[in-house]
Amino acid sequence: MKAAVLVFPGINRERDMARTLKLISGREPAMVWHAERELPAGTDLVVIPGGFSYGDYLRCGAIAARAPIMDAVFAFAGKGGLTLGVCNGFQILCEAGLLPGVLMRNARLRFICRDVFLRVEHSDSPFTRGYSVGQVIRVPVAHGEGNYIADAETIKRIEDEGRVLLRYCSPDGKLDEAWNVNGAINAIAGIVNERGNVLGMMPHPENHVEAALGVTDGRGLFVGLMEALERAA
Amino acid sequence: MKARVTVTLKSGVLDPQGKAIEGALRSLGLTGVASVRQGKVFDVELEGHDRAQAEALLKQAADKLLANTVIENYRVEVVG
């Protein structure tokens, strides 16, 4: 795995992400500053971490989505390169048009920082191959704007095409508005693009990978990604 | 030349912030407010004096950055 972690001013989860990528793959990711115009040669995974790029000014992720490095990300993703956006990274991917829809203010208006339960809807993706369909994983969220929405036609399309990989659910895997923490439509927590190589998700799998923290449910995503990259190599 | 870009949420898009403001107005005892939608205003100073050019420039700015046209509409006014 030759990962590149993008760094925008105001991002604050890039070191958690780098630590996890190193832990799982054994290889230090490249940290790529937003003003760069190219990704390091041989990059096979681009990660846009969480945080508050540009202080969430204008709209969450709006300014980062227009940063110089994003042209290289468009080219990379356009060639099928695996691209993962977590939290603010998901917001940036939506603002950049790499994923459809938008993340609105949480329905109950509060910033939410807690563990949530996610149901894995499909495991035939490089991002979720480390899990089984219907598996419930526990990972944390920390966001004020995670309420996913798109127009009805887009929602129908992404649902019909099986592009919702993760949904908020109860601890036993049931869809229940009480567990849909931010009010996202259809309890959507993570979606992929049409080609399936770009994933955006609000929760932070990178924060649940070490036994010392009690939960390691996030590991599957990174282990699966690494296996997918090894198979492709 | 001065101009103003107003960005508003499209109708039908849920606006939790507007709802909260609406509730706060009610709790202040200001009755008669049916609903509130929150938007943004950008006051922009432009170089040059060509109105048509200014409008075209601001439309580009709104499409590319100031508005997210998935959920927002915008209006451009060149004030003069």
Question: Quick one: pLDDT band at residue A80, thresholds 50, 70, 90?
Answer: very high
- Threshold 0.80, pTM exceeds: yes
Asked if pLDDT for residue A165 goes beyond 90, the answer is: yes
Q: What are the chain A neighbours of B71 within 8 Å (beta carbons)?
A: 102, 104, 149
Q: Residue ranges of the alpha helices (H) in A34-114?
A: 69-78, 88-95
Between A and B, how many CB-CB pairs are < 8 A? 33
Question: CB of B71 within 8 A of CB of A104?
Answer: yes
**Distance (Å, rounded) from C-alpha A223 to C-alpha A82?**
14
* DSSP E strands, chain A: 3-7, 30-33, 45-48, 82-86, 102-104, 112-120, 136-143, 147-149, 164-169, 188-192, 198-201
Q: What is the mean pLDDT of residues A35-46?
A: 97
**Distance (Å, rounded) from C-alpha B66 to C-alpha B57?**
12
Q: What is the mean pLDDT of residues A105-134?
A: 96
Domain edges within chain B: 2-78
**Distance (Å, rounded) from C-alpha A36 to C-alpha A66?**
12
Tell how strand A45-48 and strand A3-7 pair up.
Answer: parallel
Amino acid B48: pLDDT: 87
pLDDT (tens digit, 9 = 90+) per residue, B36-70?
Answer: 999 999 999 999 889 999 999 999 999 999 999 99
**Distance (Å, rounded) from C-alpha A203 to C-alpha A201?**
6
Q: Has the ipTM of the complex gone over 0.90?
A: no
**Active-site residue numbers of A?**
87, 204, 206
Asked if pLDDT for residue A178 goes beyond 90, the answer is: yes
Tell how strand A164-169 and strand A112-120 pair up.
Answer: antiparallel
Task: Look up residue A200 and give its two tokens.
Answer: 């955006």
Residue A105 is nearest to which of B16, B65, B70, comparing CB atoms?
A: B16
Please say whether the dihedral angle defined by the alpha carbons of residues B56, B61, B66 and B69, taken in this order, is positive or negative. positive
Which DSSP symbol is given to A28?
Answer: P
Mean pLDDT of chain B: 93
Amino acid A97: pLDDT: 96
**Amino acid identity of A90?**
F
User: B51: distance to nearest CA of chain A, Å?
Assistant: 26
**Distance (Å, rounded) from C-alpha A228 to C-alpha A232?**
6
Q: What are the chain A neighbours of B70 within 8 Å (beta carbons)?
A: 100-102, 150-151
**Distance (Å, rounded) from C-alpha B43 to C-alpha B66?**
12
pLDDT (tens digit, 9 = 90+) per residue, A104-116?
Answer: 999 988 999 999 9
For helices A14-25 and A219-232, give the axis angle rounded to 10 degrees.
60
Asked if pLDDT for residue B13 goes beyond 90, the answer is: no
Asked if pLDDT for residue B15 goes beyond 90, the answer is: no
Asked if pLDDT for residue A126 goes beyond 90, the answer is: yes
Q: Which domains does chain A have, with CATH numbers?
A: 3-232 (3.40.50.880)
Q: What are the chain B neighbours of A153 within 8 Å (beta carbons)?
A: none
Amino acid A79: pLDDT: 97
CB contact under 8 A, B68 and A109: no
Amino acid B12: pLDDT: 85
CB contact under 8 A, A150 and B70: yes
Homologous superfamily of the B2-78 domain (CATH): Phosphoribosylformylglycinamidine synthase subunit PurS (3.30.1280.10)
Question: Quick one: pLDDT band at residue A232, thresholds 50, 70, 90?
Answer: confident
Amino acid A99: pLDDT: 98
Q: Which of A172, A156, A153 is nearest to A164 (CA)?
A: A156
Amino acid A148: pLDDT: 97
CB contact under 8 A, A105 and B17: yes
* CA-to-CA separations, A11 to A7, A20, A141, A232, in angstroms, rounded: 6, 16, 15, 30
Q: Which of A125, A106, A117 is nearest to A191 (CA)?
A: A125
Q: Which of A60, A182, A197 is nearest to B71 (CA)?
A: A60
